Structure formats: C-alpha cells, structure tokens
Amino acid sequence: MKKKNIAEEPITSYGGSSELNADVIWKLFRETDQKFKETELMFQDIARRFQETDRQFKETDRKFQETDRQFKETDRMFQETDRRFKELDKKMEKSSLEWQEIKKELGGIGKTNGEIAEEYFYSALKGSMKVAAMEFEYIDRNIHRKRKNTEAEYDIVMYNNQKVLVVEVKHNFRLPFLQSFYQEKLRKFKILYPEYQQYRVFGAIAAMTFGKDVKETAARFGFYILTQHNDKLMILNPPDFDPLEVK
C-alpha cells in the first residue's frame, strides 16, 4: 500500500471560512469602538454637567456670600438706626422734661389768672344776683358731681325756682373752651342734676378777654357774654338779646 503524504492533504478549516471570521471580528471591533466612543461622549457629557453643576454651586456660594454681606450691611444699618433712635429718644426726653417745666410755669400763671377771673365774676354776680332781666335766689361756685360714667365741674351756677344759669369762666376765653362748654358740660347738667329736670337751663360765658370768633359764636349759641369794664360787670349782648334754653 502506498502511504499518503501528509503535506499533500488539504488543511481543514474549523469554524467556517477565515474571511467570514475576519468580518465578524472586524464588525465586533467596530461596534465595540462605537460603544467606547459613545461611552466617552457620555462621560464627557457627565463631566460637562459636573462642571456646570460646580459652576452653579460656585455661583450660588457667591450669591450666598453676597447675601450674607448684604445682611451684615443691613444689620449694621439697623444698629446705626437704633443708635440714632436712642439718641433721639434721649433728646426728646430732655426736651419733654424742659417742656414740662415750661408748662408747669405757664400753668401756674394761667391758674392764677383763672382764679382771679373766677373770683371777680363770682363776687360781681353774688352782689347783683341777676344777669340782664334774669334774677336769681341762689349762687354756687365750683360745684362738682359724678353720676355713673358722667362727671363735670361748673364754675358758677345761679338758680331761682324756674331757671338755672350756668356760667363758664376763663381769663382768656378761646374757641375750644366754648365748644367744650356748649357740647359737653351744659348737656351733662340735667343728667348730673336730675332735680332740675323741669327747670329751664341757660348758659353764659365770662372772661377778661376773648379769642377770635368766641363772642360771635357764643351769641349764636344763645349765651350771655360777660366781661369786666372799668371794674364793673358788663354784659356784651345787645339789650334786645333773647337767650336760648339749653336742650
């Protein structure tokens, strides 16, 4: 038998064609390379995002620092404002004390003048016991009464068996005094003195001097207007004046 030459036998390919295997391998390499590139792009995007996030954190930190600076500046301004208010309070307190001293001095003068005026008109009315055509039997001075929540003091009050004349006295009669007498004191009289409910009540003002519009306004209210002239009691209303009853 003739022996076969091994070198002459054809080489058997295990697993298919060598060209096909190369294509598959090359395709796998390309896919792998593509995935590597995609992964690299993804990492680059992540890195970019990290950088953006880092930038935002730095910006936020900068804003926090700026906000902190502004808060500190605001706090400093508040402290400065508080310091100035305290200084102002001290100045106002000092001014208030000085003003209280001035008021005390002026109040003492005003009270003295008021007492002089009240003493004069009380003495003059007590001597005459009349005002114009009204004649009275009784006269009281500085009467004060409180009933529940209502309270008032009246300088001079004159009475007879039908009428009451309430006289408000000031050294210098000003419009606010007149308004208070008309709107408050006179309207409280019958509440405080119910025994005079059936009496006719009238009003009068008496002063050494009068402020602007006081005499004209008092006349419209129907009040007698009394003053001093040459050491005598003088009625400033015209002779035909008709006083109005307080309702």
Which residue type sits at 8? E
Distance between CA atoms of 167 and 134, rounded to whole angstroms?
Answer: 13
Beta bridge partners, 229, equal 232
CA gyration radius, the chain: 54
Distance between CA atoms of 153 and 193, rounded to whole angstroms?
Answer: 12
Here the tokens at position 207 are 């002063």
What is the pLDDT at residue 118?
93
What is the pLDDT at residue 110?
52
What is the pLDDT at residue 180?
95
What is the pLDDT at residue 45?
80
Neighbouring residues of 154: CB distance < 8 A, sequence distance ≥ 6: 140, 142, 143, 144, 166, 167, 168, 185, 189
Q: Exposed e or buried b for every residue in 146-165, given b needs 16+ CB within 10 A?
A: eeeeeebebbbbbeeeebbb
What is the pLDDT at residue 6?
46
For the chain, which residues score pLDDT lower than 50? 3-4, 6-16
Distance between CA atoms of 94 and 102, rounded to whole angstroms?
Answer: 12
What is the pLDDT at residue 43?
77
What is the pLDDT at residue 179?
95
What is the pLDDT at residue 44?
82
What is the pLDDT at residue 218?
97
In tens, the pLDDT along 30-77 reads: 787 787 788 878 878 887 887 888 788 788 878 878 888 887 888 888
